[in-house]
Structure 1
Amino acid sequence: MIRATEADLPAIQAMLSARAPHAMFPQSNLRNQGLGGGHPHGMTVWIDTLHTVSAMLGLNNCGMVMPVWDDMPRGAADVLKRFPLKGFAGPTPMVRPLTTALALDTAPATLDADEPQFLLHLPTTRWSDDAGTLAPVSDHRETAIGWRTAYQTELHMTDDGPESAVAAVDRWCAADSHRLLIVEGQPVAMTGFNARLPDIVQVGGVYTPPDLRRRGFARQAVALHLAEARAQGVREATLFAATDAAVACYQSLGFDRIGDFALVLFDGEVTP
């Protein structure tokens, strides 16, 4: 594989757009940060060939690896050697052969999971008008920080990879990407988009405190946020689910399973 330059971005973006539900993180990072730079989500990118790109390997400044391809190109593992890596994120058929090639299958990790991934076409979706309204997390920052901390603890993501709960919530406030569902004046659930493009969003950061679960609050929070996105022209939504309860929630909204998503966060950095 060869290292991409600014001249390769149109071909890279075209390839990623054709695979949008499976490439939300790298596509959003490139759209917002471009190649390189000092932002935590700024990426170094390698591609399989010039002009007509069919495979891309991204490594952001936090050490997260994001592959996008149909079949792993020759030399994909070699370009990552000697880089300190924090983890991998991407569809399971793309991530697992790469971790195997790098002999990182058994590296100590705080999170190592293959989660079912879902897709929803928004224009045909209909939801009920249950009680509750959405508020930006900036209106309830301390609550959001507490909930994000609890979410990370439940999923054994002690620092959410490169970000603390405080840093994550402050980033959400700046991007206006997450919402809290307010019922009878009180926050009861949280939802958000962890990647967003003009036509598609990726839902993430959904959380309901344990004492408020099984009352439909997470479902309503996601539904209202997707309705907001649909009104702004978004046509599709994707997500991956960590629990059976989450799967049931998303399927009740009309999401269909499209595969599996692998998320690996090492216990500290590793260097292949």
Structure 2
Amino acid sequence: MIIVQAPVYLPEVVQAVVAQSGRAISGISGPAAQVEATKSILGLSNTPTQLDEHEILFSLALQDLQIPEALASAKVQCRLPHPEELELLSEWCVAYNVEALGKTDTPSLRLACDRIIEAHQDMGMHWVLVAGDTLVSYSAFNASLPDIVQIGGVWTPPALRGKGYAKSVVAGSLLEARSLLVKRAILFTSHSNQAAQAVYQQIGFLPTGEKYGLVLFEETQA
């Protein structure tokens, strides 16, 4: 995945990153205009994609985080996953990729999800929401800097949706980030996913007005 953020010298930056990394390209994300330009720079404008859309970028100053009542009253708890829960979280990762990103459930996707969950666990960058003894929702930080984090991979199993679990798990993860002096969180979501937009706005996220581009290629590009 190439993540672009180069308002100037974009061709030089993209070409240097691809050359230096030596990695295949599974997709491109970043400001929408830069994503489109990057496809052109790399000669990938007509390459078949699983997903190619502009999404809404949301931002939240963590001092303005709104805590859901269920979390504040300890009706649910947000915590780091236990090792014995990682197999379930890998299954959730597969389900998220199929539903949200249009991927196909394949052995390679399952292996990739195993690695993603293991990496998040090693870095302490993902959280589960627990109601009683049951895991009901999941959230992760796709990227993290000392003062800002990017939320991603938010997943609630379909049978458990509509209960406010997603906003509680995201808020819980951001309470932890705020305790570590992180100042801001960002995330992006599809224009068509109005349910997710409502969830994030309920805990204080606001749209920035910027369009965020996300492209996932059908096949990894060498």
Q: TM-score, normalised by structure 1?
A: 0.69
C-alpha displacement of 1:73: 4.3
Is 2:217 aligned against 1:266?
Answer: yes
Give the corresponding residue for 2:82.
138
Contact 2:137 2:165 in 1 (8 A): yes
CA distance in 2, matches of 1:88, 1:95: 6
Give the corresponding residue for 2:27.
87
C-alpha displacement of 1:66: 2.5
Is 2:183 aligned against 1:235?
Answer: yes
1:270 partner letter: Q
More helix by share: 2
Shift in alpha-carbon separation, 1:162–1:238, aligned structure 2, 3 A: farther
CA distance in 1, matches of 2:15, 2:133: 54
Q: How does 1:47-62 map to 2 (within 5 A)?
A: none
2:202 partner letter: S
Shift in alpha-carbon separation, 1:217–1:268, aligned structure 2, 3 A: same
Shift in alpha-carbon separation, 1:137–1:157, aligned structure 2, 3 A: farther
Give the corresponding residue for 1:150.
95
Give the corresponding residue for 2:67.
127
Shift in alpha-carbon separation, 1:102–1:252, aligned structure 2, 3 A: same
Give the corresponding residue for 2:4.
67
Contact 2:68 2:167 in 1 (8 A): no
C-alpha displacement of 1:129: 3.5
Contact 1:72 1:98 in 2 (8 A): no
CA RMSD in angstroms comes to 2.5
Shift in alpha-carbon separation, 1:107–1:244, aligned structure 2, 3 A: same
C-alpha displacement of 1:125: 2.6
Q: Work out the percentage of aligned pairs sharing the same amino acid.
A: 31
Contact 2:65 2:171 in 1 (8 A): no
Is 2:120 aligned against 1:172?
Answer: yes
1:156 partner letter: G
- 2:45 pairs, out of 105, 108, 114, with 105
Residues 184-193 or 95-104, more deviating:
95-104
Contact 2:64 2:204 in 1 (8 A): no
Long gaps (5+) in structure 2: none
C-alpha displacement of 1:142: 1.7
State the number of aligned residues: 208
C-alpha displacement of 1:244: 1.9
- 1:252 pairs, out of 199, 202, 206, with 202
Q: TM-score, normalised by structure 2?
A: 0.83
Residues 73-82 or 234-243, more deviating:
73-82
Shift in alpha-carbon separation, 1:153–1:78, aligned structure 2, 3 A: closer
C-alpha distance after superposition, 1:156-205 (max 9, x if no partner): 13479897111111111111111110001110100111111111111111
C-alpha displacement of 1:104: 1.8
Q: Which has the higher contact order (CA 8 A, sep 6+)?
A: 2
